């Protein structure tokens, strides 16, 4: 044992040095600090054999237990009871995940869960219930007929944390109503690379906005007690550094200096940890040459010792074998298991390979994985199961959930969708349009639920129309409802990348006043969403130009997971709406915005680039700006983070800072008046940015430090007051620690600016 711990210590030291994160001694837990759930977990643990423990640490995909092959179940699906018993009784597997191939009905979910939990708790010797996990990332998206909410990027565009909370609450309710207690959500990776195919799964590019949204969504998922029948355990993911791969491609290497890692990528996870997120998923990628699954400096020293996360850490899909065949840091699966478990992984999402518990047991017997590490991991898993109430009642009767897909939930989804749409251009008040006219609707995203819902909707890629909820409306159908089908002509014009019939578009435009061109992307996620070119395919640019050439009013709707470049087509649009995967009610919300029943209030959660080679975030550095002519004003995005118009106008005045000289322990009070000076009620997001004028580490040009969404009637004026602790102005200093430096700061709210000073 002695020997093993010194090898482990050396191993930790080597990895820590490589990512430059200082090793901090592990805190010893004190018996009397233990929570009742921890005491209960340890009692259960004391009765478990090594086989039981290795089984508890295993998570398999449901495929492994079904008739048919992994990824290819026999339909209609059914358990192969022999395989299921082998998994649950012989291997003692503690967790199962996912759907095989496609969404299940609620009835099927109940059958699945009943069969699994009955065997686990009645036939298996240790009687420990199974922890079932699912990607319910925008509603219970793997349950037929569930309420599908906007994806995270859409929620971020609402700038309304209450909608993120409600969205989490609806998702939790409908996930439990599908007999499942654990969701792999939210994504707390920062959406700071516009090429990455999972950008839309994030809350966008800003740390503050993403932190507020993440905490709110977790609150909705977990409520006060994850053990009640309406809440689930959240799983913040993917820790850490997944979202800015060097190549822009999913699951490819990231290179993130420790300062950036700490300043931009840790805070969302820290805030969620402080807010009590129950579980965490480890990042599939490698950061600075070290796969995260093999990095104790991140998984132990940073996550546990520094950040204080106590919950269970599950691997991502197949990431152990990837240590062998992709990252090449392990010689074989057994070596990979040794590395990942010792690095701090508690549960392995293997997900189709049943060797994990067998090989892990051998590793323990050979002294290559210490028993303390196993006990630590299994204790965390048992605590999650206890907190979720699985030992008392693994799931509740279906009849306990009358609100599944109810009008109430649909309304929440609609409100979130309506606030998520961003009006980016509105030349001569082209929008809203009057309803007594004929319109032409065209484009590849016009008549598709996939382009509103995105990936993880019915199926993994979200691209199978069989799982569309037939009552829900595409953009085209919702416009037909508003204007009357006889007033809406539809011709698709082009597919996503191939022109079909532009003459038909020109011809159809003859009898209409307005052309609504719906462009964008098909649904995708992860590796299948990788692209080589952020430019929008030519076929779609041509479609917009064809529409403009008719001389009719052109409204462009971009429905996409990431900002495909529109520089060339944008001048052809009279109005431009951004649809950020608003979910099942998105079509209705967009149609209501087009006719003016809803006043748009979404703001961009990321910076929309103008050129594919000029990908920047709003909070770039001063030196990010040099132009070919030596000027320093080369930040010229199509639309900046935070931007979004309304059908009304807001005037800002009276920016006041109560005390303009403050010390580091003070809070600063900043107030501003906002007035609705237009002729419609509207919602506005008051955004407070602060610029650190001089700092020992080059400061960003500005950072969002606070925001508030308000509702103003015509002529109404509100005074908004922000109370900001000066400690929020901290940054990661030269020695890679958070510091606050005295000096001058500038506040910007809308077009107003004011200064203050922080003294020692």
Cβ neighbours, 10 Å, residue 312: 27
How far apart, in whole angstroms, are the C-alpha atoms of residue 586 and residue 579? 8
Measuring CA to CA, which residue among 80, 93, 167, 161 is closest to residue 133? 93
Whichever of 98 and 477 has its CB closer to ligand BGC, that residue is 98
Q: Given its phi and psi angles, is residue 297 left (phi above 0), alpha (psi -120 to 50 degrees) or beta? A: alpha
CB of 349 to ligand BGC, least distance (A): 6
DSSP readout, 298-328?
Answer: IIIIIIIIIT---SEEE--TTHHHHHHHTS-
Residue 710 CA, chain-centre distance (Å), reads: 24
DSSP 282-299: E-SSEETTEEGGG-HIII
Least distance from ligand BGC to the Cβ atom of residue 317, Å: 4
Please calculate the CA angle 336-341-344 and round it to the nearest 5 degrees: 130
Tokens of 664: 């580091």
At closest approach, how far in Å is the CB of 314 from ligand BGC?
Answer: 9
Minimum Å gap between C-beta 250 and ligand BGC is 8
What are the tokens at 592?
């209501």
Identified catalytic residue from 193, 316, 318, 574: 316
The Cα 636–Cα 620 span in angstroms is 12
Smaller CB distance to ligand BGC: residue 303 or 747? 303
Residue with tokens 């920047």: 616
Of the pair 135, 692, the CB lying nearest ligand BGC is at 135
Q: Which residues in this chain contact ligand BGC in the complex, by CB under 6 A? A: 98, 135, 184, 237, 281, 284, 316-317, 526
CA distance 611 to 626: 15
Residue closer to ligand BGC (CB basis): 131 or 558:
131
Residue 471 falls in the annotated catalytic set: no
Phi, psi of 314 (to 5 degrees): -100, 150
Dihedral over Cα of 329, 331, 333, 338: its sign: negative
Taking the C-alpha atoms of residue 88 and residue 95, their distance in angstroms, rounded to an integer, is: 9
Distances (CA, A) of 190 to 19, 204, 617, 736: 19, 6, 11, 20
C-alpha radius of gyration, the chain, whole number = 26
Torsion sign (Cα): 482, 485, 489, 494: positive
Distance CA 241, CA 232 (A): 25
Query: Minimal distance in Å, beta carbon 135 to ligand BGC?
Result: 5
DSSP conformational letter for 721 = E
Smaller CB separation from ligand BGC, 462 or 642: 462
Q: Which of 190, 171, 292, 284 is nearest to 234 (CA)?
A: 171
- The DSSP element (H or E) to which 162 belongs, if any, is helix 161-176
| Maximum Cα–Cα distance across the chain | 84
Pick the closer one to ligand BGC by CB: 284 or 450. Answer: 284
Cα 537 versus chain centre, distance: 26
Q: Least distance (Å) from ligand BGC to the CB of residue 525?
A: 8
Tell me the closest approach of the beta carbon of residue 284 to ligand BGC, in angstroms: 6
* Minimum distance, C-beta of residue 255 to ligand BGC, in the bound complex (Å): 20
Give the residue with the Cβ less far from ligand BGC, 316 or 684: 316
Q: Taking Cα atoms as reference points, which of 162, 166, 277, 176 lies closest to residue 230? A: 176
The first and second tokens of residue 561, run together, are: 């997971």
**CB closer to ligand BGC out of 526 and 666:** 526
Rounded Cα gap, residues 357 and 58, in angstroms: 6
Strand, coil or helix: 752: strand
Residue 237 Cβ vs ligand BGC, minimum distance, rounded to whole Å? 6
Tokens of 186: 């939210």
135 or 570, CB closer to ligand BGC?
Answer: 135
For residues 663 and 726, the answer to whether their CB atoms sit within 8 Å is yes
Residue 15: CB minimum distance to ligand BGC, A: 23
How near is the Cβ of 201 to ligand BGC at its closest, in Å? Answer: 8
Return left, alpha or beta for 434; rule: phi > 0 is left, psi -120 to 50 is alpha, else beta.
beta
Catalytic site positions? 316
């Amino acid at each position: 044992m002695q020997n093993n711990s010194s090898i482990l210590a050396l191993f930790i030291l080597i990895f820590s040095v490589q990512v430059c994160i200082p090793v901090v001694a592990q805190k010893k837990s004190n018996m009397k600090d233990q929570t009742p759930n921890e005491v209960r977990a340890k009692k259960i643990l004391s009765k478990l054999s090594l086989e039981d423990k290795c089984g508890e640490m295993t998570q398999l995909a449901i495929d492994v237990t079904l008739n048919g092959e992994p990824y290819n179940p026999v339909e209609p699906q059914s358990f192969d009871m022999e395989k299921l018993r082998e998994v649950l009784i012989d291997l003692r597997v503690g967790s199962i995940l996912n759907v095989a191939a496609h969404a299940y009905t609620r009835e099927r979910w109940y059958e699945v869960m009943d069969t699994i939990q009955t065997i686990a708790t009645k036939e298996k010797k240790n009687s420990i219930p199974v922890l079932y996990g699912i990607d319910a990332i925008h509603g219970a998206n793997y349950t037929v007929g569930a309420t599908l909410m906007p994806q995270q990027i859409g929620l971020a565009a609402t700038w309304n944390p209450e909608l993120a909370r409600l969205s989490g609450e609806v998702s939790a309710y409908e996930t439990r109503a599908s007999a499942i207690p654990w969701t792999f959500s939210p994504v707390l990776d920062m959406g700071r690379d516009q090429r990455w195919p999972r950008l839309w799964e994030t809350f966008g590019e800003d740390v503050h906005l993403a932190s507020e949204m993440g905490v709110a969504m977790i609150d909705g998922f977990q409520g006060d007690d994850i053990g009640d029948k309406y809440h689930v355990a959240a799983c913040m993911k993917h820790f850490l550094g997944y979202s800015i791969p060097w190549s822009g491609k999913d699951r490819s290497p990231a290179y993130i200096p420790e300062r950036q890692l700490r300043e931009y990528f840790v805070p969302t996870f820290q805030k969620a940890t402080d807010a009590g997120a129950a579980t965490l998923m480890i990042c599939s990628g490698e950061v600075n040459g070290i796969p995260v699954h093999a990095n104790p400096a991140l998984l132990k020293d940073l996550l546990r010792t520094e950040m204080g996360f106590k919950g269970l850490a599950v691997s991502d899909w197949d990431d152990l074998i990837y240590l062998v065949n992709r990252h090449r840091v392990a010689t074989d699966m057994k070596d990979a298991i040794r590395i990942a478990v010792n690095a701090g992984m508690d549960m392995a999402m293997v997900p189709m390979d049943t060797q994990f518990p067998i090989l892990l047991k051998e590793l323990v017997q050979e002294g290559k994985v210490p028993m303390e590490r196993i006990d630590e991991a299994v204790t965390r898993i048992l605590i999650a199961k206890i907190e979720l109430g699985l030992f008392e009642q693994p799931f509740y009767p279906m009849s306990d959930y009358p609100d599944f897909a109810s009008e109430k939930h649909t309304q929440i989804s609609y409100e979130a969708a309506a606030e998520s749409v961003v009006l980016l251009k509105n030349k001569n008040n082209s929008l809203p349009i009057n309803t007594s006219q004929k319109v032409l609707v065209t484009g590849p995203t016009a008549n598709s639920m996939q382009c509103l819902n995105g990936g993880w909707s019915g199926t993994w890629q979200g691209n199978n129309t069989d799982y569309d909820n037939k009552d829900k409306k595409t953009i085209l159908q919702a416009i037909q409802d508003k204007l009357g089908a006889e007033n809406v002509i539809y011709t698709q014009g082009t597919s996503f990348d191939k022109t079909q019939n532009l003459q038909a578009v020109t011809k159809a435009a003859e009898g209409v006043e307005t052309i609504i061109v719906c462009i964008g992307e098909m649904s995708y996620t992860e590796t299948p969403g990788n692209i080589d070119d952020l430019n929008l395919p030519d076929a779609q640019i041509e479609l917009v130009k064809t529409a403009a050439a008719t001389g009719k009013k052109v409204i462009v709707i971009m429905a996409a997971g990431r900002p495909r470049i529109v520089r060339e087509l944008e001048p052809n649009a009279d109005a431009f709406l951004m649809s950020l995967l608003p979910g099942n009610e998105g079509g209705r919300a967009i149609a209501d915005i087009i006719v003016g029943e809803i006043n748009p209030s979404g703001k961009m959660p990321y910076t929309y680039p103008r050129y594919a080679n000029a990908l920047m975030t709003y909070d770039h550095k001063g030196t990010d700006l040099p132009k070919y002519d030596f000027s320093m004003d080369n930040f010229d995005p199509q639309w900046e983070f935070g931007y979004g118009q309304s059908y009304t106008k807001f005037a800002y005045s009276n920016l006041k800072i109560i005390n303009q000289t403050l010390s580091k322990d003070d809070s600063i009070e900043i107030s501003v008046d906002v007035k609705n000076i237009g002729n419609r009620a509207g919602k506005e997001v008051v955004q407070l940015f602060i610029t650190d004028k001089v700092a020992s580490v080059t400061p960003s040009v500005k950072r969002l430090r606070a925001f508030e969404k308000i509702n103003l009637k015509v002529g109404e004026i509100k005074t908004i007051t922000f109370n900001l602790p000066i400690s929020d102005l901290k940054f990661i200093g030269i020695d890679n620690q958070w510091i606050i430096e005295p000096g001058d700061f500038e506040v910007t709210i809308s077009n107003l600016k004011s200064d203050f000073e922080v003294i020692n």
